[in-house]
Amino acid sequence: MLASYLPEAVAKHYPPENKDADGMFATWRIHLSVIAYNTKLVKAEEAPKSFADLLDPKWAGKLVKAHPGYSGTIMTATQQMVVTLGWGYFEKLAKQKVMHLQSAADPPRRVAAGERAIQVDGADYTILQLQDRGESVEIVYADEGSPLIAGPAAIMKSAPNPNAARLFYSWAMSIECQQLNSDIAGLRSAHALVTERKGRKRLAEIKTMKEDPQAVEAQSDEIKAKYATIFGV
């Protein structure tokens, strides 16, 4: 389905783990699934520091998260959390009366609105965008590691305008576009020359869980079924 094409920027500035060896795709964006909280409802000194902290009875009825049956980000994050924490963690979390939503962008908005105090998971770039608008939300990078989600880009073999596709793909992977991703969208970049937004913790400084796309593909149906059984959603 994909056409091999290696933009110059990818060849020069992207690490091996963020580009296909045969030039079929490369990482266009990176983001994290993070814990976050409403700073009006939770004091910084009382905020959870880890996924384990979310099991404290004091957070019962105050948590919100997205669903792996709907969101690709949350499916990827759930697979990583299962490997790191085990299904037993989710069985304990299910006792915390967690509000379930769909998209990874939904929990940050409910936390910002004060409908729930803390999100268990959700896209970090949405939190950053809410902060840019002055919302009272703060990110927590969990002690156990934050799930990492890499979003690839590619050219379709059957693209009706292959030359235009290559031009756009080259721009999308360039420093110009990648810096925009960071500055405006709050995303992370694999491009070595991109500078992080001022005041944001660098990706290299954050403990992350290990992404395994092959495992996600192979286990997605099992994860959806197990998750639905545990949470009843």
CB 88: neighbour CB atoms within 10 A? 10
Q: At what angle do helices 72-85 and 213-231 cross, to 10 degrees?
A: 90
Biggest CA pair distance of the chain: 57
- Count CB neighbours of 157 within 10 A: 11
In sequence order, which residues have a C-beta less than 8 Å from that of residue 157 and are 6 or more positions away?
Answer: 1, 2, 3
What DSSP string describes 143-161?
TT-B-EEEEEE-EETT-SS
Instruction: Please name which of 116, 81, 120 lies closest in space to residue 104, comparing C-alpha atoms.
Output: 120
Q: Which domains does the chain have, with CATH numbers?
A: 2-30+155-197 (3.40.190.10), 34-146+215-228 (3.40.190.10)
The share of the chain scoring above pLDDT 90, in percent, equals: 98
Q: Which ranges of 99-203 does DSSP label H, i.e. alpha helix?
A: 106-112, 124-132, 162-172, 175-180
Calculate the average pLDDT of the chain.
96
Q: Residue 197: its pLDDT value, please?
A: 85
pLDDT at residue 10 is higher than 90:
yes
Closest residue by Cα to residue 165 from 156, 173, 174: 156
- The neighbour count for residue 78, using CB atoms within 10 Å, is 27
Report field, pTM of the whole predicted structure over 0.95: no
Residues 100-130 pLDDT 10s:
999 999 999 999 999 999 999 999 999 999 9
Show the tokens assigned to 153: 């880009």
Structure tokens at 155: 């050219």
Q: Does 222 have pLDDT greater than 90? A: yes
CA angle, residues 172, 175, 169, in degrees to nearest 5 = 20
Tens-place pLDDT, residues 20-79: 999 999 999 999 999 999 999 999 999 999 999 999 999 999 999 999 999 999 999 999
Identify whether the C-beta of residue 36 lies closer than 8 Å to the C-beta of residue 117: no
Per-residue confidence (pLDDT) for residue 133, from 0 to 100:
94
**Model pLDDT for residues 165-214, shown as the tens digit of each residue:** 999 999 999 999 999 999 999 999 999 999 998 888 999 999 999 999 99
- What was the pLDDT predicted at 116? 98
